[in-house]
Amino acid sequence: MASYRVEVKRSAQKEIRKLPVTTRKRVVTKIRRLSADPLPAGTEKIKGADNAYRLRQGNYRIAYALFKQKLTVIIVRVGHRKEAYRNL
């Protein structure tokens, strides 16, 4: 199985930097693992979008777009579950 390229939007990078240190480490680990398995256990499709998925990390959510043809994962948003889905 080919590995996927993982890109993180600049806005998501800012959101990651604002996270508490322990949460940030866990989120970054989950994001890195997406290159080997873009749909790990616990991943759910975001309703209303063709290629959008979310992954849980405690009270935080990682929203990303998956492009299987291009073997690319784009991290769109990282945030607390209360705000993670606003303006997606």
In this structure, the number of other CB atoms found within 10 A of the CB of residue 9 comes to: 15
Q: How do the domains of the chain map onto residue ranges?
A: 5-80
pLDDT of residue 46: 92
* CATH, domain range 5-80: 3.30.2310.20
Rounded to two decimals, what is the model's pTM? 0.91
Structural tokens at position 72 = 């690319």
Given a cut of 70, is residue 1 above it in pLDDT?
no
pLDDT digits (tens, 9 = 90+) for 19-64: 999 999 999 999 999 999 999 999 999 998 889 999 999 999 999 9
Nearest one of 22, 37, 23 to 68, comparing CA atoms: 37
Euclidean distance between CA atoms 14 and 68, whole angstroms: 26
Euclidean distance between CA atoms 12 and 47, whole angstroms: 20
Average pLDDT over residues 64-87: 90
